[in-house]
Amino acid sequence: MFGRYLMLRLLLAIPTIFCVAVIVFVLMRIVPGDPISMMIPPGASPDDIENLREIYGLNKPVLDQFLIWLNGIAEGDLGRSISLKLGVGQLILNRLPATLELVILSMGMAIFLAVTASVAAIRYKDTLVERVLDTFTGVAQAIPDFLWSLLLLLFFGVILPLFPITGRLDPSLSFDPITNFYFFEAIFTFRLDVVWDLLAHLALPSFALAFPLAASLSRVLRGSLSEAMSQDYITLAQVKGYSRLEVITKFALRNALIPTITLSGVQFAFLIGGTVLVEYIFSYPGLGNLAISAVVQRDLPLIQGLILTFAVMFVITNLLIDLSYALINPRLRGR
């Protein structure tokens, strides 16, 4: 039953991704200026330029280019990057794990922070704790991840140099991973020094991404928690002899998560967009960093491929959110 629902959602995602593909493609073709012009060596002849166009298929009509691109995608070929002169698919696959590690860590951190803050605020309602948390939440939400990155970099990377501010892994550590999922691989091969260094590099960017998300999550979560706390089943839990903290974490929290996921599921997907700038600021070798350089270099095939990748990640995140919603809400599970 549930599998069918999932299949339906996946099928519905395909037109969305297709639309994104079309929009990106059209946008890229109305760019004033010639992407080829950036890569011509000085003194190249018109013939050379024509050759380059030929190689990248830029001399064909737009519709043909689109069909060739679509056909390529279907065969798993996203074209060749103009600036890096490598296959787009390969470039993206190399960088994807780094971004995924960052995204997963940030989301996890955001959920942890939001749940802790909301539970504490409800547990210590009408006390100083609640007011302090209120202020923190307000500031964390007002400042976007872009500014958080810069602030954290300044304070905990430079003025108080606790964390490294560039890259993903200290090159002096000899670590030859088979996959690009450094973090998972380091854990499975028991390279604790590498795990530690990866975490140190991830700390600032993931906090920057997590803060605004945690703040907006905890606003919604607190609302639904205090709503849940007035329900009859909470009274019964209290009469069963549970302490206030137990009542919140064991009874109210799971119920409150249901409306929270509905109301703020989109925010998770938006975190993926945030990685672009954060990775760039911390020179973190992920997709976002690649995207900025592709945009600055006007590398059409690479931009197209990257946007498509982001769109797919976006759709998958939304799907996972729907799934977790169904998992947490028993009313949906039986169907």
Report whether 309 contacts 92 (CB < 8 A).
yes
Binding segment for other proteins (CB under 8 A), chosen from 1-9, 112-120, 153-161, 175-183, is: 153-161
Token pair recorded at residue 185: 């691989």
Residue 127 touching other proteins (CB under 8 A): no
Please report, to the nearest 10 degrees, the dihedral formed by the alpha carbons of residues 182, 183, 186, 190 taken in order: 180
Report whether 285 contacts 168 (CB < 8 A).
yes
Q: Tell which one of 139, 162, 192, 245 touches other proteins (CB under 8 A).
A: 139
Report whether 102 contacts 275 (CB < 8 A).
yes
Give the interface size with other proteins as a residue count (CB under 8 A). Answer: 62
Residue 122 touching other proteins (CB under 8 A): no
Q: Tell which one of 8, 10, 22, 27 touches other proteins (CB under 8 A).
A: 27
CA distance 291 to 306: 7
Residue 15 touching other proteins (CB under 8 A): no
Q: Tell which one of 307, 308, 309, 321 touches other proteins (CB under 8 A).
A: 307
Closest by CA position to 231, among listed 248, 208, 210, 207: 248
Token pair recorded at residue 34: 């010639």
Q: Which amino acid is at 55?
A: I
Closest by CA position to 162, among listed 170, 171, 153: 153
Residue 58 touching other proteins (CB under 8 A): no
* Residue 170 CA: distances (Å) to CA of 75, 257, 269, 281: 37, 39, 30, 17
Least separation in angstroms between residue 104's CB and other proteins is 17
Query: Which CB contacts under 8 angstroms, 24+ apart, belong to 329-333?
Result: 329/258, 333/2
Q: What is the C-alpha radius of gyration for the chain, rounded to an integer number of angstroms? A: 24
Residue 329 touching other proteins (CB under 8 A): yes
Least separation in angstroms between residue 106's CB and other proteins is 14
Q: Tell which one of 58, 84, 143, 316 touches other proteins (CB under 8 A).
A: 143
Contact flags string 264-293 toward other proteins, x per CB under 8 A: --x--xx-xxx-xx--xx---------xx-
Q: Tell which one of 33, 41, 42, 76 touches other proteins (CB under 8 A).
A: 33
Residue 231 touching other proteins (CB under 8 A): yes
Give the list of residues 6+ apart from residue 165 with CB closer than 8 angstroms, or none.
153, 157, 158, 204, 282
Give the list of residues 6+ apart from residue 21 with CB closer than 8 angstroms, or none.
70, 73, 304, 308, 311
Residue 303 touching other proteins (CB under 8 A): yes
Binding segment for other proteins (CB under 8 A), chosen from 5-13, 43-51, 182-190, 251-259, is: 251-259
CA distance 262 to 221: 11
Nearer to other proteins, 137 or 183 (CB): 137
Q: Footprint of other proteins on this chain (CB under 8 A)?
A: 20, 24, 27-28, 30-33, 138-139, 142-144, 146-147, 150-151, 153-154, 157-159, 165, 231-233, 235-242, 251, 254-255, 258, 266, 269-270, 272-274, 276-277, 280-281, 291-292, 295-296, 298, 303, 307, 310, 314, 328-331, 334
